């Protein structure tokens, strides 16, 4: 199973020569600024073959921090994060040359992959976590006529498509439409000893050289 960690590339962006203008724009609406950023960043991320999972703008002292979360089927590695970061940085430069400041004053760009703490809210999130153990609230379906309210379910994702996810619990296999699910959370699992032993099985032949890493 592919491990999905967090990989981050950070780029500092000084805009020290525009302090007066920055002070005026900094008092503007962060939501509007975020939408301007999204209009520049989203096409770049999609053109690179990735999904833009999240984009946030926050203040850190005297500067802003622009955080971009990208993902893809099979995950995204550090090299891909670096490539996306450079492409996004170039696009922001071009947009500012053309239209003026998008983010007021000095800002820092962070591009990263999602960590395991990212809630599963979209079909593609569930699809990319097939095989993982998750915990999710399953809402009661009034149309079913069955008694009971919302319930917490912990199960392994065995299948996911555009309409529903299939969870295997200790009791049974259950199909859950996305409309009946709250945000899912991946559960951290400790590697079983037998799996660990199998993964560490090596050839003891003297003529086999260790792989360089």
pLDDT for 91 equals 95
CA gap 168, 149 in Å, rounded: 20
Q: Which of 168, 178, 187 minimizes the C-alpha distance to 139?
A: 178
pLDDT for 146 equals 57
Say if residues 2 and 9 touch (Cβ distance below 8 Å). no
146-187 residue pLDDT tens: 556 789 999 999 999 999 999 999 999 999 999 999 999 999
**pLDDT < 70: residue spans in the chain:** 1-29, 142-148, 191-213
List, by residue range, all CATH 2.30.30.520 domains of the chain. Answer: 123-191
CA gap 19, 22 in Å, rounded: 5
pLDDT for 197 equals 52
pLDDT for 143 equals 63
Angle, CA of 213, 114 and 49, to the nearest 5°: 85
Q: Give the residue ranges of DSSP H helices in the chain.
A: 19-26, 30-47, 78-99, 123-127, 193-199
**Phi/psi at 120 (5° precision):** -90, 110
pLDDT for 31 equals 78
pLDDT for 92 equals 93
Q: Which of 64, 184, 176 minimizes the C-alpha distance to 122?
A: 184
pLDDT for 116 equals 80
List, by residue range, all CATH 3.30.300.70 domains of the chain. Answer: 8-112
CATH of domain 123-191: 2.30.30.520
Superfamily covering domain 8-112? RimP-like superfamily, N-terminal (3.30.300.70)
Q: Is the pTM of this model over 0.75?
A: no
């Amino acid at each position: 199973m592919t491990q999905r960690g967090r990989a981050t590339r950070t780029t500092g962006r000084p805009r020290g020569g525009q302090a007066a203008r920055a002070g005026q724009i900094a008092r503007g609406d962060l939501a509007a600024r975020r939408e301007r950023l999204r209009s520049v960043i989203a096409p770049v991320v999609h053109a690179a073959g990735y999904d833009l999972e999240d984009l946030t703008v926050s203040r850190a002292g005297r500067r802003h921090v622009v955080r971009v979360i990208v993902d893809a089927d099979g995950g995204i590695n550090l090299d891909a994060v670096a490539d996306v970061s450079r492409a996004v940085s170039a696009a922001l430069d071009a947009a500012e040359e053309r239209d003026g400041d998008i983010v007021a004053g000095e800002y820092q760009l962070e591009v990263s992959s999602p960590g395991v703490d990212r809630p599963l809210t979209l079909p593609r999130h569930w699809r990319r976590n097939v095989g993982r153990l998750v915990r999710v609230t399953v809402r009661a379906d009034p149309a079913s006529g069955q008694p009971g309210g919302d319930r917490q379910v912990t199960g392994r994702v065995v299948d996911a498509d555009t309409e529903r996810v299939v969870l295997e619990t200790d009791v049974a296999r259950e199909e859950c439409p996305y409309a009946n699910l709250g945000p899912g959370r991946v559960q951290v699992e400790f590697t079983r000893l037998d799996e660990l032993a199998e993964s560490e099985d090596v050839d003891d032949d003297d003529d086999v050289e260790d792989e360089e890493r």
